[in-house]
Amino acid sequence: MAKSDEPKGWAPLPDPPPELFNVPPGEQLDDARRTAVLDWTVNQYVALGWRVESRSPTQAVLVRGGNVNHLLHAILTIFTCLLWGVVWIVLALGNRTERVALTVDPTGRVQTVHGPR
C-alpha cells in the first residue's frame, strides 16, 4: 500500500504477514489468499475507526463519519431554549463522510480508491 493511500490515524498500516504471499515466483495468489490479504487490510482500517459498508471476496468499501441526527438535535435545541443550536450548527458544518474502496489484485497488492468528499 502506498504511503499516500494510508488512512489517517494513529500510525501507518503495517505490511501484511508474509505467509499470505508464499507462492512460487511468477505465480498469482489464489482466491483464498487474496481474500485473506483483504481481510487483514480491512481489519487494520476497522481498528482505525472505519466501518465496512459492503464486501466481496476481493473488494471492500469502507466508510468513516456519518450523518447528524437532526431530529435529536432539534429536540435538544427546543428543550435548552436554543442553546443546543450552537452545538448542532457546529456538528452539521463539520460533518463529513469519507469512503474508500479496497481491491486486491491477483498479485496480492491492495489498491485503494478514495471516494469524493
Q: What is the pLDDT of residue 5?
A: 58
**pLDDT for the residue numbered 55:** 95
Strands 59-64 and 51-55: antiparallel
Contacts of range 81-87, beta carbons closer than 8 Å, 24 or more positions apart = none
Instruction: Note the pLDDT of residue 29.
Output: 83
Q: In this predicted structure, what is the pLDDT of residue 10?
A: 54
CA atoms within 13 Å, Cβ hemisphere of 114:
11
- Residues of the chain under the 70 pLDDT cut: 1-16, 21, 23, 117
| Strand bridging mode 110-114 / 59-64 | unpaired
- Nearest by Cα to 109 from 25, 17, 1: 1
